[in-house]
């Protein structure tokens, strides 16, 4: 009887050792075997939300990854992660093993897409870019009215133009355009609030909203960082002295689709709420998306006595104190005349 028990014990121990050995070999194989050969191209494994373990393994096979479903399922059980795999897009490189990929899927290290919101865009250009991005999930049609979009963002009381901070945003595939817009809206409001809190004490702006409008004009007038505060200074002094801003970008914005790429004299004299040649003060809304630098320039303009500027034709501007100097700059840089 004693020997029989010993024999049974040895058999059980052998079975246990065999099971442990098999489990170890399974673990090692999954940990070390590449999912793609060195000659294969990288692939993207896309796991929809709500996909179970079996569905995830099926997706891996369908994507062309070299996995053995039964072994992989055992591996996931051994690691205790079979219920912890996260949905999303995962980039799989040649030579990468299932162990490495599974670790990333547990951590949720999904592909990060990016979209850059560009300084000077109008709201319609921003919406078009969002809808054109293949990784963005659209919830609203591209031509949705701006006020409908703002209502969907929980801000029906404000105008959509100029309300989203230009910068590059990272997001996971399938993120909605409303989610990205909300992030950009919050970023803009935070930047604007900070700039307004640190504004110069003598600027003729009554609110952060007016600062945003002026910032949008500065953004459209120059792309040179070193000129933003100088242009802000010109507009600030014009406002202080009761002069009209007389800035072409506001006229163009007010013309809408009537603008064909060239301003005529009659365009400058045709009144719209945004025509700063026919109206004093700031226009009623921003005319574009201002970047953080333009917002800060609007509330901290450069000191000086210049009241005019004209484009040189190379992206930079000539600044003048008097109207006579300004006319001379126009003759030289716009009309091509030589005063000498």
The 10s digit of each residue's pLDDT in 225-242 is 999 999 999 999 999 999
Q: Bridge partners of 169?
A: 115
Same domain, residue pair 218 and 324: yes
In a domain, 2, yes or no: no
Same domain, residue pair 161 and 208: no
* Total domains in the fold of the chain: 3
CA separation for the pair 129, 126 (Å, rounded): 5
Domain boundary among the residues 69, 92, 107 is at 107
In a domain, 15, yes or no: no
Same domain, residue pair 130 and 66: no
Is the pLDDT at 284 greater than 60? The verdict is yes
Host H or E run for residue 91: strand 88-92
In a domain, 12, yes or no: no
CA separation for the pair 267, 238 (Å, rounded): 22
Q: CA 175, 180, 181, 183: dihedral to nearest 10 degrees?
A: 140
pLDDT digits over 49-58, tens only? 899 999 999 9
Domain boundary among the residues 107, 133, 154 is at 107
In a domain, 168, yes or no: yes
Strands 136-137, 168-172: pairing is unpaired
**How large is the average pLDDT for residues 15-21?**
47
Domain boundary among the residues 146, 161, 190 is at 190
Q: Which tokens go with 188?
A: 């803009």
Same domain, residue pair 226 and 180: no
Same domain, residue pair 57 and 163: no
Same domain, residue pair 320 and 270: yes
CA separation for the pair 308, 207 (Å, rounded): 25
Q: Supply angle C-alpha 138, 143, 146, rounded to 5.
A: 95
pLDDT score, position 1: 57
pLDDT digits over 293-326, tens only? 999 999 999 999 999 999 998 889 999 999 999 9
Q: Which tokens go with 164?
A: 């989203």
CA separation for the pair 339, 276 (Å, rounded): 30
Same domain, residue pair 309 and 213: yes
Query: Residues of the chain with pLDDT > 70: what percent?
Result: 91
pLDDT score, position 306: 97
Same domain, residue pair 155 and 79: no
Q: What is the pTM of this model?
A: 0.83
88: left (phi over 0), alpha (psi -120 to 50) or beta: left
Same domain, residue pair 230 and 314: yes
**Helix ranges (DSSP H) in 222-310:** 228-241, 248-255, 265-269, 292-299
CB 290 within 8 A of CB 209: no
In a domain, 8, yes or no: no
Is the pLDDT at 134 greater than 50? The verdict is yes
Q: Bridge partners of 137?
A: 176
CA separation for the pair 215, 123 (Å, rounded): 15
Same domain, residue pair 36 and 82: yes
**How large is the average pLDDT for residues 89-94?**
94
Is the pLDDT at 91 greater than 70? The verdict is yes
CA separation for the pair 326, 130 (Å, rounded): 41
In a domain, 243, yes or no: yes
Same domain, residue pair 231 and 182: no
- More confident position, 14 or 172: 172
CATH of the domain at 102: 3.30.1490.480
Give the chain's mean pLDDT: 91
Same domain, residue pair 102 and 42: yes
Structural domain for 138, as ranges: 113-190
In a domain, 273, yes or no: yes
């Amino acid at each position: 009887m004693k020997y029989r028990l010993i024999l049974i014990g040895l058999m059980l121990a052998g079975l246990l050792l065999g099971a442990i050995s098999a489990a170890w070999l399974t673990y090692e194989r999954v940990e070390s075997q590449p999912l793609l050969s060195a000659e294969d191209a990288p692939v993207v494994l896309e796991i929809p939300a709500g996909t179970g373990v079996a569905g995830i393994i099926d997706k891996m096979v369908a994507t062309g990854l070299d996995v053995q479903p039964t072994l992989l399922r055992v591996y996931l059980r051994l690691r205790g992660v079979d219920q912890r795999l996260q949905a999303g897009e995962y980039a799989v490189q040649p030579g990468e093993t299932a162990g490495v990929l599974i670790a990333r899927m547990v951590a949720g290290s999904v592909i990060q897409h990016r979209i850059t919101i560009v300084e000077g865009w109008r709201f319609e250009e921003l919406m078009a870019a969002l809808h054109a991005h293949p990784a963005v999930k659209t919830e609203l049609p591209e031509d949705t009215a701006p006020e409908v979009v703002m209502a969907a963002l929980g801000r029906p009381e404000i105008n959509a133009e100029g309300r989203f901070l230009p910068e590059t945003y990272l997001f996971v595939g399938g993120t909605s355009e409303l989610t990205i817009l909300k992030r950009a809206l919050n970023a803009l409001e935070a930047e604007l609030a900070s700039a307004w809190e640190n504004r110069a004490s003598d600027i003729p702006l009554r609110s952060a909203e007016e600062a945003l409008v002026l910032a949008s004009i500065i953004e459209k007038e120059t792309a040179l960082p070193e000129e933003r505060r100088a242009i802000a200074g010109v507009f600030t002094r014009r406002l202080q002295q009761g002069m009209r801003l007389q800035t072409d970008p506001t006229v163009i914005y007010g013309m809408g689709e009537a603008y064909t790429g060239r301003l005529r004299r009659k365009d400058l004299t045709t009144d719209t709420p945004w025509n700063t040649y026919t109206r004093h003060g700031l226009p009623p809304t921003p005319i574009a998306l201002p970047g953080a630098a333009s917002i800060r320039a609007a509330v901290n303009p450069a000191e000086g006595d210049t009241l005019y500027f004209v484009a040189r034709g190379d992206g930079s501007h000539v600044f003048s104190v008097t109207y006579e100097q300004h006319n001379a700059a126009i003759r030289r840089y716009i009309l091509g005349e030589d005063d000498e």
